[in-house]
Chain A
């Protein structure tokens, strides 16, 4: 038996991947369907000398990992639905103060407390815009365990590269499903380590003055470069400022550092797109049903393809436009009322040819659900 071969839940895969990157600090609060992540962390972290905290709520959990990140650790928290809503205030803080961290949201069904043990993908827009004010954010997802691993590692790498929180938007099906995974060997996936400031003692330290390449080196709390961290608009010293020039520069910097690098950040997978007349666009667990339909129809010679998005935000508009340029129909497959549908419509040249195959009742979308929409579009009736 290959000892790297495992048969585990997606939630546990996420933990394995986080540990692979060198994560050694986790704080969380129990909530279905993400709880297994914190349970595995509670078990695994002390074994490697890492720290695990069960906090009094989800805001506190995110606050705690932001604090730990400032001392130089790779950190993560995990939650679902209502917990993610609670985190929004601290999320905005991490964005503005530019503190690397990873937040997992294993999406469940329904709004409010909803249907906790069932699946949904209704938090796509919340992940984008949940915290107030102008900002950019990186949101990633995956549909199978091998990808959950790779994308989780990627999330940590992006958090370090851009000094920003990264959201992993998984869902109940991927989180709870068990399937096989080969845990990559050490060194197989490159890791991005924190870029630390190298300022000599006595030289004036500007913690919020980006380098020419746009990257912002960080100085750990406890080191010799003492500085102030704040969620208020701040100058290059990290000191609060309402100078219009400073505020403008800060907001532009926060948005540009991510939006201008969309082509580097955007991850996706494509299946049979070269000659596809109809393209399905999907992500997360819903992409499994979409791929099922595509493989099935291809075996009958029908020209169907799939674009599986793994980066949801910043949305790769250019990519969707390019891939869908020759398609007759585009069908977005997602378990919400059309949250990525809107972004796809904005991307393509002919938005009237973009349709939605969805499910919002907590039941995992089936290949039949997708086939029914395809038949309707093709004028064949259901």
Chain B
């Protein structure tokens, strides 16, 4: 299937600003899905609120644009009720880790099979440039006009600590790596997190004097390095890219199947639901 077949052309052009990294994430994601060869009917994309969340409207899957921070909770219900569906949950940094922080860590803990993508542009873009939990100390925003004193989460460390069974990080500059990590995350049986550092030239870049979108992409190139590289040893400030965790752990829906078996045995009740018919 061609990449174009995965999008809803009716709803283009998209609402993202020129230079925004989110379109690049969409591109990487669709390439990953095409490579795996997934059918459009087996994918459900659930997003929250913000610039990132609009991605769901543009793809021709079953899509749900929900409320701020709660995409993972909706996705949990969908996946649990129809485990054969593939769940992809793109979120913004404020969406996933401020208002949705609690849902995020609990989803990671449950290890239900779905892919959470944190489209990290370090700012609330849709509301005009306020600091997010990933902006970091010393950054400028409309709500930190004298500099930000909030420290940032490290998405990777947070996800690992919360129990995610797949954790990766990349940037919009590294388009091939992005598609590769996303593909592996989607195939992974369990809760996978992929942080994609994305540029917001309009809100974050401008307020922090990071130059154009291209300058910001160059910045990703220069300030990141593959996991465990020699460059990292020389310069500990470099941000590592790659797959940090990829492990087999009991998946929630599979575990619940065992609960069903156990419950049915205890009552000698064999009247299990037949397969539903879908239109």
Residues in chain A within 8 A of chain B (CB atoms): 24-25, 27, 43, 46-51, 53, 55-57, 59-61, 63-73, 75, 89-90, 93, 196-199, 219-232, 237, 239-240
* Pairs A–B under 8 Å by Cβ, sample size 7: A46-B262, A48-B272, A59-B70, A67-B81, A89-B70, A223-B279, A230-B66
A253 to B60 Cα, complex, angstroms: 26
- Which residues of A have CB within 8 Å of B262? 46
**What sequence of 0s and 1s flags, for each residue 55-93 of chain B, a beta carbon within 8 Å of any chain A beta carbon?**
011001111111100100111111111101100000000
Let me know if B74 and A64 touch, CB within 8 A.
yes
User: Which of B46, B60, B67 is the one whose CB lies under 8 Å from A93?
Assistant: B67
**A221-B44, A223-B278, A230-B65 as given contacts; A90 in contact with B76, CB under 8 Å:** no
B209 within 8 Å of A (CB atoms): no
Stretch from B145-153, B194-202, B263-271 forming part of the interface with A: B263-271
Min CB–CB distance A20 → chain B (angstroms)? 14
A64 to B74 Cα, complex, angstroms: 5
**What sequence of 0s and 1s flags, for each residue 88-131 of chain B, a beta carbon within 8 Å of any chain A beta carbon?**
00000000000000110010000000000000000000000000
A27 to B73 Cα, complex, angstroms: 10
A192 to B67 Cα, complex, angstroms: 29
**What sequence of 0s and 1s flags, for each residue 238-279 of chain B, a beta carbon within 8 Å of any chain A beta carbon?**
000000000000000000100110111011010111001011
- Which residues of A have CB within 8 Å of B85? 71, 221-222
A239 to B11 Cα, complex, angstroms: 8
**A60-B103, A93-B67 as given contacts; A226 in contact with B74, CB under 8 Å:** no
Let me know if B267 and A60 touch, CB within 8 A.
no
Cβ-closest 3 pairs across A and B: A67-B77, A64-B77, A46-B263
**A67-B74, A221-B85 as given contacts; A46 in contact with B279, CB under 8 Å:** no
Let me know if A228 and B57 touch, CB within 8 A.
yes
Closest to B11 in A: A239
A66 to B66 Cα, complex, angstroms: 10
A66 to B65 Cα, complex, angstroms: 12
- Which residues of A have CB within 8 Å of B8? 228
A43 to B266 Cα, complex, angstroms: 11
**A71-B81, A222-B278 as given contacts; A93 in contact with B267, CB under 8 Å:** no
**A56-B102, A240-B57 as given contacts; A231 in contact with B67, CB under 8 Å:** yes
A197 to B46 Cα, complex, angstroms: 22
Let me know if A60 and B76 touch, CB within 8 A.
yes
Let me know if A223 and B41 touch, CB within 8 A.
yes
Let me know if A64 and B62 touch, CB within 8 A.
no
**A60-B70, A64-B76, A229-B64 as given contacts; A222 in contact with B41, CB under 8 Å:** yes
**A48-B273, A66-B77 as given contacts; A221 in contact with B82, CB under 8 Å:** yes
Closest to B75 in A: A67
A27 to B103 Cα, complex, angstroms: 14
Min CB–CB distance B187 → chain A (angstroms)? 19
- Which residues of A have CB within 8 Å of B63? 226-229
Closest to B79 in A: A67
User: Which of A49, A51, A222, A240 is the one whose CB lies under 8 Å from B80?
Assistant: A51
Min CB–CB distance A208 → chain B (angstroms)? 13
Q: A67-B75, A67-B77, A227-B62 are in contact. List 17 more A-B contacts (CB 8 A).
A: A24-B273, A25-B81, A60-B73, A60-B106, A63-B74, A64-B74, A68-B77, A71-B82, A72-B276, A72-B278, A221-B82, A222-B85, A224-B279, A226-B41, A228-B8, A228-B63, A228-B65
